[in-house]
Chains A and B, each alone.
Chain A
Amino acid sequence: MADQRTLSPLDLDTPDKTFLDANELVINMGPQHPATHGVLRVILRLDGEKVLGLECVIGYLHRGVEKIGENRTYAMFNPYVDRMDYVAAVSNGLGYCEAVEKLLAIEAPSRAQHVRVILTELNRIASHQLWLGTHALDIGAITPLFYTFRDREEILKIFEKYCGARLTTHAFRIGGLQYETYNGFEKEVKNFLNFFRPKIDEYEELLTTNRIWLERTKGIGKISAEDCIALGVTGPVLRASGVKWDIRKAQPYANYKNFDFEIPTGQNGDTYDRYIVRMIEMRQAVRIIEQAVDSLPEGPIMAKVPKVMKPPVGEVYHSIEAPKGELGYFIVSDGSTQPYRVRVRPPSFVNLQALDTMCRGQLVADVIAVIGTLDIVLGEVDR
């Protein structure tokens, strides 16, 4: 298996024979399978239990979000993006709002930017918590799921108090925020940070040095930095392979250049490194939120935005670092109230393409671990 990328695609037409004679066996995992995180269907070609290759069949959750975008005004489309990556809805909203702001050439006021950073980073923690719980559940540890959900609840409470929704928040508006922070917002966020810091240690205690966890994750689903770049993989998966690429640092948006934080990277690009990277990212997110809350400026929360948004003819690409990787919006305006085309670059979709590379030569049980470690959300993959 010299160059994995040049391997021929799966030949799914040859029928599978009996168990034994057969050197190859094609099995179908999903779309209804407990470990595929939704309605992902993976067709595996196996030699015994070894994976020779696999193909993802997606689209079971396709809702035509991009097409909907062409038939809604800029402001009306904003809630739809929350439904793509529903576990990180705030990040999706941030990306869209900033993209449209770029198109309109306006800038949200500094206070709004701060609140945006706070909420987005909280959402990053929530997303990583959900990833950790389900990933550990896939590998068989059932307890972390409940710990992470218990703590994620606190974040969702803050969201709910701020904008009335827990999951699909629609927290931001084009040009800033609609709602001023509620009374005691800073205090509650700080309380949460103090509550949450020991909890990360708690998660790590259960898993980081657990022998079985190490055996199940070390060296599993390896992907090299070159492969990552070639496949366009971003986010923690890319960073775990050793590439220090984080849009918050590389092309700072919102207020990120004002905050001091580090980008964790791994060396091996295996499941364990991705786990460690995400754990450190949670800690860094705590750091960012702390700084943002401490330096939360007073002032307006909404920039001057025309009642009817008619961006000038043109196109814009804006990407942010969503919890799962680079989330980009490409918006083409024809000068009307509705975008001519909205194209989303979802991190889950792009990262999912690395599944084949990561799984070849591994065992079936590892495929489940790798799907977990990619941290995909099918709502975002299929849009």
Chain B
Amino acid sequence: MAPIATPFFFYLLAAIMLIGGILVIMCRNAVHSALALIVTLLAQSAIYLMLYAPFVAGVQIILYAGGIMVLFLFVIMLVNIDRALKERQFNSQWWVGIIAATTLGGLFIAVYTKGKSIFPERIASVAEADNTQRVASLLYGQYMFAFEIASLLLLVAIIGAVVMAKKRI
């Protein structure tokens, strides 16, 4: 089962992602930003599918689009004030940011053009069918400790978020 029209889908999804990303940082209204981000994330999960990472793609949809972004939307709605729309959207040092980002971008371009040979043209053959099993055995085998720490991190985050957001403790 060979992937069909890979370049077409790659460029389509890449375009969606980049336009979405630009909208995220340009939109005046935070809700619009969040929706653009969701589109970006969904396109990215499709790209994961193209990279033979179906499990991560599924996790991306469930966790990011269905979980984290809903949280974002919730908070945006809770703190939604019209005043924020009328204010200046970019901070006063925006040009510093642009310069820094441009420099970083230049660095990336330099690395990718100079170091093209570092990235070999090879594409390892991956069995897609048992992707989930193999990810699982890595997660619960080699990365057991990291997994536990991640769960601890989540616990701490839950408690932290509750403590922060509660009116009276």
Interface residues, chain A, with chain B CB atoms under 8 Å away: 18-20, 23
Contacts and interface: CB of A to CB of B under 8 A. Distances in A.
Contacts, number: 9
Contacts of B77: 19
Interface residues of B, number: 6
Contacts of B151: none
A18 B77 CA distance: 10
The 8 A-B residue pairs with the shortest CB-CB distance in the complex, in nearest-first order: A20-B78, A19-B78, A18-B81, A20-B79, A18-B80, A18-B79, A23-B167, A19-B77
A23 B77 CA distance: 16
A50 to B, nearest CB: 12
Nearest to A18: B81
The majority secondary structure among interface residues of chain A is: loop
Contacts of B167: 23
A5 B77 CA distance: 36
Contacts of B79: 18, 20
9 contacts: A18-B79, A18-B80, A18-B81, A19-B77, A19-B78, A19-B80, A20-B78, A20-B79, A23-B167
Contacts of A23: 167
Contacts of A19: 77-78, 80
Interface string B70-90: 000000011111000000000
A22 B80 CA distance: 13
A23 B168 CA distance: 11
A80 to B, nearest CB: 51
Nearest to A21: B79
A324 B135 CA distance: 67
Interface in B45-82: 77-81
A23 to B, nearest CB: 8
A226 B80 CA distance: 45
A23 B80 CA distance: 16
Nearest to A19: B78
